[in-house]
């Protein structure tokens, strides 16, 4: 009954771990903010919906929202509403981008370890997964040299993720310049997944490769992480007008349009862009708590904090003995802490656990304290 492509899909280990949590568990599994969306944002969006209209929007989304998103980023070649399509979450934007570019057999260069959807969508489309290494030797960064090593003839798409999931690392502008030159040389389409774009903890905002590549670059964004709007499911895809027109045809077949209410909520963010960074202090408190607890972990279980997103990485290679999933299940059974084994992000992730500090300082502090005690016994 099932197609060969669908048969290749596997359940998300991230969700599998989250689904095992108990009412008493310290849940550090999902990248879901503990904070609610801004109450005023919801009230204003509901008021606009109540006043009407309440029906379909344009397939590509509300014109004023698309204009607002284009003006928010001001990427060269992506400055108009016609360069934007509003999607049901950033994951649909990613699916549209890959589906509209790839044919069966085309190569997809993607980070490994990396967000699991990159491999999943590649498989569904019958494309070829070409993982490039994100290694400890290179600071858990996505680098031009790693991409060059992984490149093979037939590669068509390069996926970047900055700030990244699972590591929270940010690609520097100088590295992006090297990557952009290589992508142009090999005629690659670059899909830049920047769902964590506004969650950074240094002084300077992350650069985007879309600032460097006017054509053959696609931007995937959304408000789930920065504005705690996970349940509203609003994302967006930006690209050249001709590409967005074609992607909208596929979007129309799948969902018709994004929810009007979700779009009205997103419109409130474009009108008040300071909301994009409003939750950063909450995550900074959690980061400070993690920093306080780092000395409790010996060198073989070092804790890593990237400069963006909201994840901490704990080295458990010596305790996991090649099976971090079994270790994560033991952690849940013995310490009642839910963490995600690195295997969820690719085979090269067997050495770590990912902990989400989107749960807040108190929760992540308790979870890390329990993890440190567990690892002493492991």
> In the prediction, which pLDDT does 205 show?
96
Q: Count CB atoms within 10 A of the CB of residue 347.
A: 10
Boundary residue ending a domain (212, 247, 276): 276
Q: Please check whether residues 202 and 263 belong to one and the same domain.
A: yes
CA dihedral (338, 93, 280, 287) positive or negative: positive
Distance separating alpha carbons of residues 143 and 137, to the nearest angstrom:
11
> In the prediction, which pLDDT does 293 show?
96
What total of structural domains would you count in the chain? Answer: 2
Contacts of 8 (CB under 8 A, 6+ apart): 123, 124
- CA-based angle 151:155:161, to the nearest 5? 75
Q: Any idea which residue has 């290679």 for tokens?
A: 317
260 phi/psi in degrees, rounded to 5: -60, -40
| Cis, bond preceding 113 (omega within 30 deg of 0) | yes
Contacts of 376 (CB under 8 A, 6+ apart): none
Please report, in tens digits, the pLDDT of each residue of the chain (378 residues total): 878 888 888 888 888 888 989 999 999 999 999 999 999 999 999 999 999 999 999 999 999 999 999 999 999 999 999 999 999 999 999 999 999 999 999 999 999 999 999 999 999 999 999 999 999 999 999 999 999 999 999 999 999 999 999 999 999 999 999 999 999 999 999 999 999 999 999 999 999 999 999 999 999 999 999 999 999 999 999 999 999 999 999 999 999 999 999 999 999 999 999 999 999 999 999 999 999 999 999 999 999 999 999 999 999 999 999 899 999 999 999 999 999 999 999 999 999 999 999 999 999 999 999 999 999 987
Distance separating alpha carbons of residues 65 and 223, to the nearest angstrom:
13
Q: Please check whether residues 288 and 153 belong to one and the same domain.
A: no
- CATH number reported for the structural domain that contains residue 119 in this entry: 3.40.640.10
Q: How big, in percent rounded to 5, are the helix, strand and coil portions of the chain?
A: 50, 15, 35
Q: Please check whether residues 10 and 79 belong to one and the same domain.
A: no
Q: Please check whether residues 186 and 162 belong to one and the same domain.
A: yes
> In the prediction, which pLDDT does 7 show?
82
How buried is residue 345: exposed, middle or buried, by Cβ count under 10 Å (0-12/13-18/19+)?
buried
Q: E strand or H helix at 369, and its extent? A: helix 361-377
Q: Please check whether residues 236 and 185 belong to one and the same domain.
A: yes
Q: Please check whether residues 48 and 107 belong to one and the same domain.
A: yes
Boundary residue ending a domain (256, 276, 296): 276
> In the prediction, which pLDDT does 173 show?
98
> In the prediction, which pLDDT does 225 show?
97
Q: Any idea which residue has 């909201």 for tokens?
A: 310
Q: Please check whether residues 167 and 19 belong to one and the same domain.
A: no
Closest CA to 230 of 16, 12, 32: 32
The C-alpha torsion from 222 through 227 and 232 to 238, rounded to 10°, is -20
> In the prediction, which pLDDT does 2 show?
78
Q: Please check whether residues 241 and 139 belong to one and the same domain.
A: yes
Q: What residues does 235 pair with on adjacent strands?
A: 87, 222
> In the prediction, which pLDDT does 12 show?
85
Q: How far is CA 227 from CA 61, 63, 269, 307, in A?
A: 19, 21, 8, 18
Boundary residue ending a domain (259, 276, 293): 276
Q: What residues does 160 pair with on adjacent strands?
A: 192
Distance separating alpha carbons of residues 168 and 141, to the nearest angstrom:
9
Closest CA to 159 of 199, 198, 120: 120
Q: Please check whether residues 267 and 355 belong to one and the same domain.
A: no
Q: Please check whether residues 86 and 16 belong to one and the same domain.
A: no
Distance separating alpha carbons of residues 228 and 105, to the nearest angstrom:
37
Q: Please check whether residues 165 and 235 belong to one and the same domain.
A: yes
- CATH number reported for the structural domain that contains residue 329 in this entry: 3.90.1150.10
DSSP string, 308-368: BTTEEEEE-HHHHTT-HHHHHHHHHHHH-EE-EEGGGG-GGGTTEEEEEGGG-HHHHHHHH
Parallel/antiparallel/unpaired status of strands 303-305 and 311-315: antiparallel
Q: Any idea which residue has 């397939």 for tokens?
A: 59
Q: Please check whether residues 296 and 200 belong to one and the same domain.
A: no
Range of 194's domain? 40-276
367 phi/psi in degrees, rounded to 5: -65, -40
């Amino acid at each position: 009954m099932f197609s060969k492509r669908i048969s290749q899909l596997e359940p998300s280990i991230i969700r599998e771990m989250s689904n095992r949590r108990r009412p008493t568990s310290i849940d550090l599994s999902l990248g879901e903010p503990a904070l609610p969306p801004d109450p005023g944002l919801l009230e204003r969006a509901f008021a606009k919906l109540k006043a009407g209209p309440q029906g379909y929007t344009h397939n590509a989304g509300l014109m004023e929202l698309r204009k607002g998103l284009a003006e928010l980023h001001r990427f060269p070649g992506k400055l108009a509403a016609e360069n934007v399509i509003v999607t049901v979450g950033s994951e649909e934007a990613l699916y549209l981008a890959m589906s509209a570019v790839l044919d069966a057999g085309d190569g997809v260069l993607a980070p490994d370890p990396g967000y699991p959807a990159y491999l999943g969508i590649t498989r569904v489309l019958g494309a070829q997964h070409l993982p490039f290494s994100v290694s400890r030797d290179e600071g858990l960064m996505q680098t031009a040299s790693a991409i060059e090593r992984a490149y093979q003839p037939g590669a068509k798409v390069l996926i970047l993720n900055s700030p990244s999931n699972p590591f929270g690392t940010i690609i520097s502008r100088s590295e992006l310049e090297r990557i952009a030159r290589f992508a142009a040389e090999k005629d690659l389409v670059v899909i830049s997944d920047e769902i964590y774009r506004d969650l950074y903890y240094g002084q300077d905002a992350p650069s985007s490769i879309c600032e460097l590549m006017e054509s053959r670059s696609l931007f995937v964004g959304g408000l789930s992480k920065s504005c705690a709007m996970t349940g509203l499911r609003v994302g967006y895809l930006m690209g050249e007008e001709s590409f967005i027109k074609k992607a909208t045809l596929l979007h129309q077949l799948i969902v018709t349009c994004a929810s009007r209410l979700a779009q009205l909520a997103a419109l409130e963010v474009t009108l008040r862009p300071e909301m994009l960074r409003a939750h950063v202090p909450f995550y900074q408190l959690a980061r400070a708590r993690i920093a306080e607890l780092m000395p409790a972990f010996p060198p073989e279980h070092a804790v890593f904090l990237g400069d963006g997103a909201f994840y901490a990485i704990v080295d458990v290679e010596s305790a996991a003995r090649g099976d971090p999933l079994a270790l994560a299940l033991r952690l849940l059974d013995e310490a009642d802490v839910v963490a995600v084994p690195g295997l969820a992000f690719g085979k090269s992730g067997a050495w770590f656990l990912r902990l989400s500090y989107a749960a807040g300082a108190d929760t992540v502090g308790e979870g890390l304290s329990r993890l440190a005690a567990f690892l002493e016994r492991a």
